[in-house]
Amino acid sequence: MAYQLSVSEIESIQLIETSFDKVIFVFETIMRLRQRLRLRLKKYYLLKALINRLSS
């Protein structure tokens, strides 16, 4: 015998799935932004070190 889901159960499952997808999307976006920020900081510090070396 196959188990039948009621309409409200299906809707709540879909709600959980979409909110889970949103959480994953936000998390991935944050990780990407952190990576970009880290690269910018690296370039900034390298440039700063280079300027300090040239000026001394």
How do residues 12-30 score in pLDDT, each as one tens digit?
999 999 999 999 999 999 9
Amino acid, single-letter form, for residue 39: L
Residue 42 CA to chain centroid, in angstroms? 20
Residue 1's pLDDT is what?
58
pTM above 0.85, yes or no: no
Residue 4's pLDDT is what?
84
Does pLDDT of 54 surpass 80?
A: yes
The DSSP symbol for 3 reads P
Does pLDDT of 50 surpass 90?
A: yes
Helix (H) or strand (E) holding 43: helix 7-55
